[in-house]
Structures are given as C-alpha cells and as structure tokens.
Amino acid sequence: MSTLDNVDAVHGRARRAGIFDVLKAWADGRTEVRLERERRKTLDLVLDRLPDGTEMIDRDAAGRLRIIRIPIRTVCTAVVVRRFHR
C-alpha cells in the first residue's frame, strides 16, 4: 500500500463522515421541527382551557423560557340608551 493509498483512504473516510454528519443534522433538524410543532399545538389546546388570569411558564428544549399570561376578560354588558323625543 503506497502513501497515496493511505491519503485516499483517509479522505474517503472523512468524506463519508461528512455525509453522515449532514444527514444526521438534517434528521435532527426535522425532529426538532416536529417536536416544536407538537409542543405549540399542545400549548394552544391548553391555553384555551385555562381560567382567566392564569400565568403559564414554558421552557423549550433549547432552554428558552416563555411566560404566557392569560388576561382577565371582562364581560361586556349591553347598555340600552333610550332617547325621548320632545
């Protein structure tokens, strides 16, 4: 085996490892996207069912912290104004 064969073998392994790394990064990215979508769907369902004035703390996989506050909804009452014509 010559020195050039050794160099080619090293480069070939590096090339295959590079493709593996690219595919792994792609798969990891796809998985992250799917998990994030599922987390957001779950949050959407949960937030609709929480009572007014609730505060929810959410931490994602990257460690980001989100504080979600549900405002207190006021009930609007209809006001009837009667005008009397003179």
Give the chain's mean pLDDT.
Answer: 76
Query: Is 41 contained in some domain?
Result: yes
Q: Tell me, yes or no, whether 69 lies in a domain.
A: no
Radius of gyration of the chain (CA): 29
Higher-pLDDT residue of 8, 36: 36
Domain interval for residue 11: 3-51
Q: Is residue 26 part of a domain?
A: yes
With respect to residue 24, please indicate whether it lies within any of the assigned structural domains.
Answer: yes
Residue 61 domain-assigned (yes or no): no
Three-state DSSP state, 55: strand
Give percent of the chain above pLDDT 70. 66
Report the distance separating Cα 32 and Cα 61, nearest Å: 9
73 lies in some domain:
no
Cβ atoms of 51 and 73 closer than 8 Å: no
Query: How many structural domains are present in the chain?
Result: 1
Q: How confident is the model at residue 30, as a pLDDT? A: 93
Position 21 in a domain: yes
**59 in any annotated domain:** no
* Distance separating alpha carbons of residues 47 and 32, to the nearest angstrom: 22
Q: Facing residues of 68 across strands?
A: 56
pLDDT digits (tens, 9 = 90+) for 18-48: 888 888 999 999 998 998 899 889 888 888 8
Give the residue carrying structure tokens 């009572």.
51
Report the pLDDT value the prediction gives residue 54, as an integer from 0 to 100. 87
